[in-house]
Amino acid sequence: MRWTDTFIIFMSTLVLSVGMLGGEQAEPSRENERVSIVKNEPSGALPHSAGKYMGHAWRIDEDHLMWWDDKPYVRFAFTGNGDLAQMIQAGVDQFTLMPDEKWPILGPDHRIVKRVDETSARLEEAGATSYGALNALWPWRYGNLIGESDKAPVFVRSVRDITEHAGRRSAIDLEVRFSVPPAERDKVTPIRTQAVLFDMDHGTRDDLSDQIESVTPIIAEPGPETRREEREEQRGKVFRVRLKVIRFPESTSLRLVVAMEIRLAEVPNVKGLPPLWKPGIREFYRRSLEAFRPAYAKPGLRGLQFGDEINTFRSSLLTARIYLDIRRDAEALKAYRNWLARRFSSIEELNRQLGTSHASFDRVDWQVPLHPLAPELARTDSDAEREESWAAAKTAWGLADTAEQVRTVSQVQEEFRQWFYGHCLAEYARLAKEVIGLVPVFVCSAAISGEADQYLAMHQWALREGVDGLIRNHYGHAGEEERYALASLARWMVKVQQESGCTKHLWANEVGYVRPRVTDAEWAAAEVAELGAGDSFGSQWAFPSQDSLREMLVLLTQHGYRGFNRFLMNPSASRAAQEVRWMAGLREEMVQRVTGKRTE
């Protein structure tokens, strides 16, 4: 879905990525007929990602195309739910199996496994093929399956200007507010709370944590004057922190930083990812794989996927109000130190670049943004590395000797964070292959604009360490901004193949139309109003014509996409039926384009 949306919660037993008969084609002539911006070296220049599963051999070629049994395998149709018998009768032959959401929220239930097993058996009888979803096999934040010890350690801070109290004896009573997903707001309690006073005049800091009298959770709702884009944040978790009566120093600039350590069921600044390195989550995932092995591991299985558009936001020590905190997380801290040992040639080189004096990598600590620079200096963490933001940092606030060193540490920790999450996904992919079978595994991204390096940093490491391909969903109208983003994605795919030393697959599990010159706020406001009787969720992104749909699919093939699903949660709904017919009419041409045969 579009980046501004939350991920879909699938209400049925399985999600059906529906493909029409003919997606698996006889091998065509591989002449210079492929419409592709990305040109690769002749076959054999780069080793193919490949494997064998239940006697069926698969591989991915240099142009990202998936092959099974020496025939191209092209996903082409729509993602949605529907009557299985009706779809099979209509000639559908590609599906994606996904357990009921009760599994990752409420816990294991043999009835859910049985239903998926019965469905996959019916697909086998019909000669259909399928992908299996993996992200429903780890616990989600919506339930109570993730214990406190398996939650992500998180640092949150609030900065207040309290210059009005300079030179006075005062008891300070303030509200600390931070953004927490709605499903976790009632569960979050601070493990530790700190209060640190920064005298900006004299460059001093004073720990006032022992002066905290009370920390009390309160209920807070946004006022009627709150702007729409700020309402969700103002519904975040709120604590009232009261300090004892103390005398504050004379100063023309005092800032009080209240910081808390909390635990969340998802890692901060990442969409849809629990802390995969935690033993309880890893064990739940393994048990789920073993439970669903009979349902997934049938001869028609063609791949596994981490869906729900897992993406990361940039995070900076300069501006972050919420930040990963692994100072007391033994496994993650060990991974960080081992990564530093590989990242730098020696401890001396690390000390030179970071301006530190560590005796060994085992003595390197993780830094958190315990400083008084207010996040308002950068509107979002995506602006965190802007020169003007760092120019405002005149001191290192005790985190290092200079602000430039803090900036370097911030960049190094961000690089680790992206690697760590990608590495965990690659480990989970390997475990899936061990338990289910040696089929390709893919990881999903939302349709984000801009340079691919920025929003696919985690995916880059996942693919480099063994994940076989990228699902990048796409929404738009074939405009210039999209073309720029797709060209960047095409370059990114070439680079990742070179870095990983093998080929990678690229396809879209969701494709939809977004009207030009409509802002995200305008689109969101009209979304509910546009859904009416006879609609399918996904109709909001309906293409205005078959020609516009064709233009979009051709554009994607030109930038390396080798499979497409139109996003329609109920393809049999009346409003969706027209686009289903359009997709059916375009299937032959698009499959030929993807596989190398061009139809004018």
Return the axis-axis angle of helices 403-435 and 330-343, rounded to nearest 10°.
110
Beta strands in 61-150 (DSSP E): 66-68, 71-72, 76-80, 92-97, 129-133
Most confident of 98-102, 339-343, 379-383, 532-536: 339-343
> Is the predicted pLDDT of residue 427 greater than 50, yes or no?
yes
Q: E strand or H helix at 455, and its extent? A: helix 452-455
pLDDT at 224: 57
The band of 2, judged by pLDDT with boundaries at 50, 70 and 90, is very low
- For residues 153 and 265, give the distance between their C-alpha atoms in angstroms, rounded to a whole number: 9
Mean pLDDT of 409-431: 97
Q: Within 13 A of 4's CA, how many CA atoms are on the CB side? A: 12
What pLDDT was estimated at residue 531?
56
Average model confidence (pLDDT) across the chain: 84
Percent of the residues in the chain that have a pLDDT greater than 70, as a whole number: 80
Mean pLDDT throughout 450-458?
Answer: 94
* β-sheet with 152-161: strand ranges across: 204-207, 192-199, 254-264, 152-161, 322-324
Strands 322-324 and 301-306: unpaired
- In the predicted structure, residue 24 carries a pLDDT above the cut 50: no
Distance CA(27)–CA(223), nearest Å, equals 62
Within 10 Å of residue 384's Cβ, how many Cβ atoms?
23
Chain segment 287-335, per-residue pLDDT in tens: 999 999 999 999 999 999 998 899 998 888 888 889 999 999 999 999 9
pLDDT of 425 strictly over 50: yes
Q: Supply the pLDDT for residue 213.
A: 95
- Of residues 541 and 472, which shows the higher confidence score? 472
- The neighbour count for residue 434, using CB atoms within 10 Å, is 11
Contact 294, 165 (CB under 8 A): no
- Is residue 455 over pLDDT 60? yes
CB 481: neighbour CB atoms within 10 A? 12
Asked if 420 and 277 count as a contact pair (C-beta separation under 8 A), the reply is yes
pLDDT at 182: 73
| Average pLDDT of the residues in 107-119 | 96
Give the lowest-confidence range in 17-26, 210-219, 276-285, 367-376: 17-26
- Domain residue ranges in the chain: 16-144+268-313+440-595, 154-264
pLDDT band with cut points at 50, 70 and 90 for residue 538: low
State residue 355's pLDDT score: 86
pLDDT higher at 558 or 87: 558
In this predicted structure, the answer to whether residue 210 has a pLDDT above a threshold of 90 is: yes
Report which of residues 174 and 285 the model is more confident about.
285
- In this predicted structure, the answer to whether residue 392 has a pLDDT above a threshold of 60 is no
Q: What is the pLDDT of residue 523?
A: 63
Please say whether the beta carbons of 79 and 7 come within 8 A: no
Helices (H), 28-90: 84-89
Q: How confident is the model at residue 567 (pLDDT cuts 50, 70, 90)?
A: confident
Return d(Cα 450, Cα 569) in angstroms, integer.
Answer: 28
pLDDT at residue 376 in the model: 53
Dump strand ranges (E) for 349-404: none
pLDDT digits (tens, 9 = 90+) for 48-107: 999 999 999 999 999 999 999 999 999 987 777 777 787 777 677 888 999 999 999 999
Most distant CA pair in the chain, distance:
84
Residue 6 pLDDT > 90: no
Residue 249 pLDDT > 90, yes or no? yes
Under 8 Å between Cβ of 94 and 19: yes
Highest average pLDDT, of 91-95, 126-130, 450-454, 503-507, comes from: 503-507
Quote the pTM value: 0.88
pLDDT at position 86 is: 74
Pick the CATH number of 16-144+268-313+440-595 from 3.20.20, 2.60.40, 1.20.144, 3.30.160: 3.20.20
Residue 336's pLDDT is: 98
